[in-house]
Every structure is written in structure tokens, then in C-alpha cells.
């Protein structure tokens, strides 16, 4: 399986071109759109989102992750193997939290270059062919590098920001719910948000936070849009305090 995590969108040609390359080079390998609307140009919040959702990739599968505002610069093209899963994409911190939370990590700088390599679309021209080769069990076309070389040790373990707004207007944070007290009160856009287990636990129109299905603390409004009700956007800070007994 090849799982796509990109900011390419589903409109326009970009995701389709990547999938066409994958289909041509790895026919019969399923290609799954996990995120096509990851926060555009922002590998920092994307790293926390990706780390929570990479469990969608089976052992031996490949996550093709491309959020790459530095495309065409001297940033490394990277292949990683972390806890039995492959990751292919740019060395810009996108895979930092995956590496940090993994028990085993190996890293390679991708040396291979296609005959045609555009300056602005390495997702199609470079990363997709490499991902296809790995999905077929091929070797990494690159040179091993120490994992420390591609790490971002100054990034926090959990990110106290909004990292994604989903189709319902729910606002995912970069905080793992397991790191918070069950009664924690989150504050976002200056508004306190109390915890609840699920949507039906609060009245329609009320904001709350909960542990979402992939373990992130997520702010929602029952039958409404948290982004609109609270005025939330990706990058907005989030804080928390212990609840009152």
C-alpha cells in the first residue's frame, strides 16, 4: 500500500499526476488518499498531524509525504524506515515526530534522479517513483545518513496549536489527548473549552474538546463548526489548565 499525505488538493492536476506515476510504476499496489489538504506550505504543524495518522500505513507500506515549500532548493530528498513503515518526502521536519516516536529509525538521502526532474514538482518526478519502488520491495536508491542529521530536536513533543481543520470545521490540535488530564480545560481564541467524551454529550451548538479517533485533542461544536463558532485557524495557539473539581 502507498498512502498519500500532501497539500496538493484534489482539484487541479497535482494529486492525479502523482497517482498516475504510482499506477504506472507499481500497478496493482493500492494508493490511498489520506490527506490531500494538509496545511499548505507548513511542514511544522503537518509533522504532528502525520505522526498521529501514520498508523494508516501497514507494516511494509509506504507513506508518500509531500508538504514541500522548499522544493527545488538544496533540502535533502529523504527516505526513512521507522518501525517497519517507509516514508518518502523532503527533509524539512515533516517526519520529525514520526522519527521521535519510533523505536527504530533508518534514514537515506535519495541519490537517484529521473531523466526529467522539474524544479517545482518533486512529488511527481522524484518522490513518487521512489515510493513505488519501495512498495514493490526494491532497495532504497540512496545513501544511508545518520538519523540525527535529519532531526529537529528543538521542536516540542506536542504542539499547542491548531494543526488541521476538517470538513466539519473540527479543529485538531497537535496535542496528544493522552498527555492531558481528563478534565483539562483548553483555551483557544480566548475561549475556554471543556472536555466531553463525544458529540452527543453536549447540547447542539456547544463547543467541547475530546480525544479524537487518532488520539489528538480536537475542538468541536456539536452540530456546528468549531472554526466558525470560535474563530479558529491552523496555527492558532492552544493552552490548557487543570479542570475545577
Are residues 111 and 42 part of one domain? Answer: yes
pTM of the shown model: 0.97
Distances (CA, A) of 35 to 210, 229, 235, 242: 21, 24, 18, 33
pLDDT in tens, 15-33: 999 999 999 999 999 999 9
Are residues 193 and 124 part of one domain? Answer: no
Are residues 140 and 172 part of one domain? Answer: no
In the structure, what pLDDT confidence band is assigned to residue 244 with cuts at 50, 70 and 90?
Answer: low
- Residues spanned by the domain of 220: 159-241
Q: Where are the alpha helices (DSSP H) in the chain?
A: 14-25, 43-53, 96-101, 122, 128-135, 226-230
Share of the chain above pLDDT 70, in %: 99
Are residues 173 and 101 part of one domain? Answer: no
pLDDT in tens, 201-241: 999 999 999 999 999 999 999 999 999 999 999 999 999 99
Work out how many domains the chain is built from and give that number. 2
Per-residue pLDDT at 40 exceeds 80: yes
How many residues would you count in the chain?
Answer: 245
Q: What is the CATH number of the domain that holds 204?
A: 2.40.30.90
Single residue among 108, 130, 150 that ends a domain in this structure = 150
Are residues 103 and 23 part of one domain? Answer: yes
pLDDT in tens, 64-116: 999 999 999 999 999 999 999 999 999 999 999 999 999 999 999 999 999 99
Question: What pLDDT score was predicted for residue 243?
Answer: 79
Amino acid at each position: 500500500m502507498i498512502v498519500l499525505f500532501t497539500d496538493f488538493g484534489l482539484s487541479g492536476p497535482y494529486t492525479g499526476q502523482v497517482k498516475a506515476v504510482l499506477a504506472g510504476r507499481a500497478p496493482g499496489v493500492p494508493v490511498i488518499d489520506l490527506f490531500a489538504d494538509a496545511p499548505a506550505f507548513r511542514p511544522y504543524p503537518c509533522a504532528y498531524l502525520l505522526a498521529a495518522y501514520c498508523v494508516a500505513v501497514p507494516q511494509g507500506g509506504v507513506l508518500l509525504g509531500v508538504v514541500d515549500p522548499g522544493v527545488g532548493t538544496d533540502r535533502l530528498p529523504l527516505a526513512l524506515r521507522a518501525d517497519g513503515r517507509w516514508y518518502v518526502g523532503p527533509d524539512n521536519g515533516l517526519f520529525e515526530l514520526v522519527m521521535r516516536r519510533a523505536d527504530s529509525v533508518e534514514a537515506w538521502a535519495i541519490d537517484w534522479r529521473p531523466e526529467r526532474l522539474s524544479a517545482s514538482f518533486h512529488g511527481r518526478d522524484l518522490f513518487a517513483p521512489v515510493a513505488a519502488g519501495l512498495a514493490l520491495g526494491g532497495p532504497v536508491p540512496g545513501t544511508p545518513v545518520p538519523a540525527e542529521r535529519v532531526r529537529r530536536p528543538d521542536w516540542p513533543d506536542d504542539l499547542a496549536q491548531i494543526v488541521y481543520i476538517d470538513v466539519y470545521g473540527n479543529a485538531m490540535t497537535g496535542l496528544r489527548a493522552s498527555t492531558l488530564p481528563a478534565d483539562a480545560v483548553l483555551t483557544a481564541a480566548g475561549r475556554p473549552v471543556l472536555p466531553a467524551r463525544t458529540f452527543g454529550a453536549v447540547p447542539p451548538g456547544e463547543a467541547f474538546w475530546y480525544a479524537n479517533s487518532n488520539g489528538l485533542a480536537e475542538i468541536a461544536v456539536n452540530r456546528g463548526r468549531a472554526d466558525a463558532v470560535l474563530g479558529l485557524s491552523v496555527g492558532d495557539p492552544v493552552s490548557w489548565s487543570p479542570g475545577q473539581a
